[in-house]
Structure 1
Amino acid sequence: MPTVLYLKELMARDSSPLTPRSYGMDLLRWFRFLWVLGVEWDRATREDARDFMLWMKVADKPVRVHWRHRGKAPSEIPPPRSDRPVPGTPNPVTGKPTVGTKYSPRTRAHCETVLRQFYDFHLDGNVGALLVNPFPLVRERRSARPGSHSDGEKKHRNRRTGLYRPTVPQQIPRRIPDEKYTEVFAGLRSHRDRALLAFWVATGARAEELLTAKQGGAIVGEQTIGVIRKGSREYQELPATPDAFVWLRLYQEAAWKMGVPRGRHHPLWWTLRRPWRPLEYDAARMMFNRANELLGANWTLHDLRHTATFLMLDDPNMPPVYVQKILGHKYLSTLDIYNCPTRDDVIAAGLAHHARQEQRRKEPPVPVDEPSYNPDSLSILFGRNVS
């Protein structure tokens, strides 16, 4: 199978374990489209690729059936809750758009990139009857006149991209306000969940990175916790707050009494019910979503990482280069997205401006003295005798 060869190539490149799964879902979507048309994968043309990208633009995403409703008739499935926002509309609490029914531009762009690389891989290996890549690149444009732009802008403008790749709008990171974070924290059900939330906001680690921590990696004396970085796969110790270690200790004492495996090389985070299993990302995400539902919010686990970044950058005594190292970014320029004003900051500044204007209207007008003239100056101007 051509997909098996390509996925093996990804695994040989030491990519993340989640990468083959993500790429495989995009390939499956493309192959299903070709099966409906009755076209072999190595016979696909540019028109087929164009129609596929158009289909992704207008088609509805498949609805995942809840495991409690599998095998039931449509009449037995309860209707969706009426208090939830309409898909694709902004959440009333966070302002973030809810998940829509259509494929997002980011999903379509990712799919186009995966398919283009898939065909490039088989073109290099001369597999099947493939002659051209149905997902071509945009023809390289002529550069502008010398000296009209900086070198970085030229490189960005002349960088070749996919012909059918949609434009992905830049997303400004969002932070969870302090009062809302307190409400989310209060809605958690266990010491484990409170410890997880405290460590995510304190360290700025990615959700899956913190879940890789071992019991021996949480060093209370040094106030650090060790994680495996997503990109480099390196082990890094991250500083945390004392409150996070307090919640961690409460969780560990209760978990060990119930029989959770104990040892330096055992995972730090476990499920709360038997049989004991290491806590995975999907379970942690559902835990956070349950706390969100109490507020009617739609924050994600990655918003906790953004919140930690804003808190560190707001500290004038925290150099940005240290923030970069804590977050595990390769380049310092990655932090530039946090310099853009957020939605909440823009709205707060606009409301403050309107409040100042309203206050000026209510203030009494300042009296202005009538202009007076010097008599001697008038005499000289009109030729009068000055006594």
Structure 2
Amino acid sequence: MPAEGRPVRDLKSFVLPEIGELWETGDPWEPYQLLDPYGQAVLPAAVFFKDLMTADSSPLTPRSYGMDLLRWWRFLWAYDIEWDRAVREDARDFMLWMKLADKPVRVHWRYRGKDTAKIPTPAQGNRLAPGTPNPVTGKHTVGRKYAPTTRAHCETVLRSFYDFHLARNSGSLLVNPFPLVRGRRYVRANAHHNPEGEHRNQRTGLYRPKIPKQVPRRIPEDKFTEVFAGLRSHRDRALLAFWVATGARAEELLTATQGGAIVGQQTIGVTRKGTRDYQELPATPDAFIWLRLYQEEAWNKGVPRGRRQPLWWTLRRPWRPLEYDAARMMFNRANDLLGANWTLHDLRHTATFLMLDDPSMPPVYVQHILGHKYLSTLDIYNRPTRDDVIAAGLAHHARQRKLRESPPPIPTAPAYDPKSLNVLFGGPLT
């Protein structure tokens, strides 16, 4: 029997119940609330969210953390465990379930409560199986299991949540159910650390999964041209042109205002994701040409006009500022024409590769344009990409084939000077 006499759980057949929700309030003082099955706010989560907002976090941080807390609370509700009574065995079972179980399949809201036999299934066609690599991009499709990054983020959030409440002596909480690794080789942290190298904390969560190193992917020029040709409006063309020219994050470019796009200086102003600072980024003339075409078309249709008005709007009435989800779906529609699965963030990677490929562009300027805190963040772009490796391998095979077909001539030995031989062997010097 496990601790406290709790029975062994059958995690193989466990299904996470869809009870409770993470509710977007629309209130800047409390952007998100974690609600229990009865619609009441979960107080420990509310206090944690308030602390995050006070620490000058982005309003999206409580949403990201809240999704992990909701998943954990549903697990606790299913087994009737109080949040401050959870022990290490509960955290272990939860993380094991996330590792081995399939993700819950959520039914679209239009079909909830209806006969499952009447729910239409998407046509398979050329759709790839979950978790398989895309033949165009090489990126894996979304799998049925929770990704290691998702599990790692969840473990970090829950460990931070319990550390926060342990410091506050909340409830009857005595220990953190998500502990750090305390093995023998972790007794003295950084015992074998090289003083000349960068300091890194070696201690990690006991149940934190290993995250494979991912190489940033760029969109090849020919494929980008095909994606660009598949766009339906001048607005979408202007967006892609600015994303590739500036390297801004997808949501950062959507914060631009009409007055922030300065054609004379060829810059566009965005609000940075982390620091919330306003920064002007250089762009290409082509991007401003597409922007002008979009603005003329939009203003003639009645889109609000003004220096402080948002730069990007929906294409149909009622006019609303363009949000990230709508921009993502726009890009996905263009992806579907090629059978690709690139993301909006791959446009940022593409812009970074283009800037770093320019020998006249100092990396410190690239760092500032991208909004990175450390120059070392650009090290991930020094790793060869999938396309670079394949191109280098094919070029190697082509050179080898050329050598086999027309080998270089064998050099002949040069003739000896007779005077040198006479000196060496005692012959006449004449």
How far did residue 292 of structure 1 move?
Answer: 0.2
Q: Tell me whether 89-98 or 5-14 shows the greater mean CA deviation.
A: 5-14
Structure 2 unaligned regions, length at least 5: 1-42, 419-425
Q: Tell me whether 22-31 or 71-80 shows the greater mean CA deviation.
A: 71-80
Indicate yes or no: 2:373 matched with 1:330.
Answer: yes
For 1:321, the aligned partner's letter is V
Q: Which of 169, 191, 214 matches 1:126? A: 169
How far did residue 366 of structure 1 move?
Answer: 4.0
For residues 128-277 of structure 1, the aligned pairs below 5 Å read 128-139=171-182, 140-142=186-188, 149-152=194-197, 155-156=199-200, 158-277=201-320
Compare relative contact order (CA 8 Å, sep 6+) and give the higher one, 1 or 2: 1
Q: Please state whether the residue corresponding to 2:300 is helix, strand or coil.
A: helix
State the alpha-carbon separation in 2 of the partners of residues 198 and 40 from structure 1: 51
User: 1:47 is matched with which residue?
Assistant: 89
For 1:132, the aligned partner's letter is V
Indicate yes or no: 2:55 matched with 1:7.
Answer: no
How far did residue 138 of structure 1 move?
Answer: 1.4
Normalising by structure 2, report the TM-score. 0.83
How far did residue 386 of structure 1 move?
Answer: 9.0
Name the CA shift for 1:32/1:336 in 2 (closer, same or farther; >3 Å): same
Indicate yes or no: 2:126 matched with 1:103.
Answer: no
State the alpha-carbon separation in 1 of the partners of residues 416 and 234 from structure 2: 80
- 1:247-292 per-residue CA deviation (whole Å, 9 max, x = no partner) reads 1111111111111111111101000111110000000000000000
How far did residue 373 of structure 1 move?
Answer: 11
For residues 340-359 of structure 1, the aligned pairs below 5 Å read 340-359=383-402
State the alpha-carbon separation in 1 of the partners of residues 158 and 83 from structure 2: 11
State the alpha-carbon separation in 2 of the partners of residues 51 and 34 from structure 1: 11
Q: How large is the RMSD of aligned CA atoms in angstroms?
A: 2.6
State the alpha-carbon separation in 2 of the partners of residues 348 and 126 from structure 1: 58
For 1:125, the aligned partner's letter is R
Name the CA shift for 1:364/1:13 in 2 (closer, same or farther; >3 Å): closer
For 2:202, the aligned partner's letter is R
State the alpha-carbon separation in 2 of the partners of residues 368 and 218 from structure 1: 65
State the alpha-carbon separation in 1 of the partners of residues 115 and 397 from structure 2: 55
State the alpha-carbon separation in 1 of the partners of residues 413 and 242 from structure 2: 67
Identity of aligned residues (%): 77
Q: Please state whether the residue corresponding to 1:152 is helix, strand or coil.
A: coil
Structure 1 unaligned regions, length at least 5: 376-384
User: 1:63 is matched with which residue?
Assistant: 105
State the alpha-carbon separation in 2 of the partners of residues 313 and 374 from structure 1: 55
Aligned residues: 382
How far did residue 142 of structure 1 move?
Answer: 3.6
State the alpha-carbon separation in 2 of the partners of residues 144 and 132 from structure 1: 25
- 1:64-110 per-residue CA deviation (whole Å, 9 max, x = no partner) reads 43456555533331344231111111100001111111100100000
State the alpha-carbon separation in 2 of the partners of residues 196 and 252 from structure 1: 12
For 1:12, the aligned partner's letter is T
Q: Please state whether the residue corresponding to 2:280 is helix, strand or coil.
A: strand
How far did residue 144 of structure 1 move?
Answer: 7.4
How far did residue 141 of structure 1 move?
Answer: 3.7
Normalising by structure 1, report the TM-score. 0.92
Q: Indicate if the aligned counterparts of 2:243 and 2:249 stay in contact, CA closer than 8 A.
A: yes
User: 1:27 is matched with which residue?
Assistant: 69
State the alpha-carbon separation in 2 of the partners of residues 254 and 91 from structure 1: 36
For 1:303, the aligned partner's letter is D
State the alpha-carbon separation in 2 of the partners of residues 349 and 311 from structure 1: 18
State the alpha-carbon separation in 2 of the partners of residues 193 and 68 from structure 1: 29
State the alpha-carbon separation in 1 of the partners of residues 427 and 299 from structure 2: 106
Q: Please state whether the residue corresponding to 1:238 is helix, strand or coil.
A: strand
State the alpha-carbon separation in 1 of the partners of residues 144 and 122 from structure 2: 17
For 2:66, the aligned partner's letter is G
